[in-house]
């Protein structure tokens, strides 16, 4: 039996899929995770490595869309949901099945544990929409990447939702030249940082650099 709260989300997703809203007003990227305990990995943590939320909002100027019917002014947006493959399979199915009709162009799906089924199940249902899997833990990696031939999923290394978001934007950039420019600017910044560190290390010498 589906709980009232889950059913209301399913009804919401199905209703949004019927709205036929312009692509400019719908989320471009969908981020889903199996539990809110995955949020530090999927979004990023102040005490840990940065995540998908960090790179999208801080580096690439995306905005999180929290109201499907009232889009932010930003052209490129993403949404975030908790969708458990094991506890709420109906919600997982509804999300994956309606994603394309709701305007989503690529899904980032993260899950932890040994049975991290959310990314690959979502990829199966949402096909041919591209899905990027994020193993939240190292032990989740075999489950996420273990798809059979003919059932594709792209996956990043354990915990690296930051890279998953970059890959998602790379997919979108094939259709949007301004996203391509944002990615190039981000990469130029990385190169600049490496160049500055390299010069400082060389000119100061190792002992002074370490200080």
Q: Where are the domains of the chain?
A: 4-175, 177-211
pLDDT in tens, 113-150: 888 999 999 999 999 999 999 999 999 999 999 888 88
SS (H, E, C) 131-163: EEEEECCHHHHHHHHCCCCCCCCEECCCCCHHH
pLDDT in tens, 25-46: 999 999 999 999 999 999 998 7
Q: φ and ψ at 160, to 5 degrees?
A: -100, 65
Block residue for tokens 């840990």: 48
Question: Which architecture, in CATH terms, is 4-175?
Answer: 3-Layer(aba) Sandwich (3.40)
Q: Band the pLDDT of 208: cuts 50, 70, 90.
A: very high
Lowest mean pLDDT among 75-79, 151-155, 175-179: 151-155
pTM to 2 decimal places: 0.94
Q: What is the pLDDT of residue 186?
A: 96
Q: Are 68 and 94 in contact (CB under 8 A)?
A: no
Q: φ and ψ at 95, to 5 degrees?
A: -65, -50
Q: What is the pLDDT of residue 47?
A: 76
Q: Is 87 annotated as a binding residue?
A: yes
Q: Is 35 annotated as a binding residue?
A: yes
């Amino acid at each position: 039996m589906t709980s009232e709260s889950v059913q209301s989300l399913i009804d919401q997703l199905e209703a949004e899929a019927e709205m036929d809203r312009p692509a400019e007003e719908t989320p471009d990227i969908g981020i889903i995770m199996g539990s809110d305990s995955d949020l530090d990995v999927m979004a990023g943590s102040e005490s840990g490595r940065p995540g998908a939320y960090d790179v999208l909002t801080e580096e690439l100027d995306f905005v999180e869309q929290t109201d499907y019917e009232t889009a932010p002014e930003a052209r490129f947006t993403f949404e975030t949901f908790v969708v458990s493959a094991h506890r709420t399979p109906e919600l997982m199915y509804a999300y994956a099945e309606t994603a394309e009709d709701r305007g989503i162009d690529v899904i980032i799906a993260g899950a932890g544990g040994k049975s991290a089924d959310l990314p690959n199940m979502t990829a199966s249902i949402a096909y041919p929409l591209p899905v990027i899997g994020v193993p939240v833990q190292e032990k989740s990696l075999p489950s996420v990447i273990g798809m059979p031939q003919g059932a594709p999923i792209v996956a990043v290394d354990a915990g690296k939702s930051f890279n998953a978001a970059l890959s998602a934007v790379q997919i979108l950039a094939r259709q949007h030249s301004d996203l391509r420019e944002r990615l190039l600017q981000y990469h130029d910044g990385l190169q600049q940082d490496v160049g500055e560190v390299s010069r400082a290390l060389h000119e100061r010498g190792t002992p002074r650099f370490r200080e």
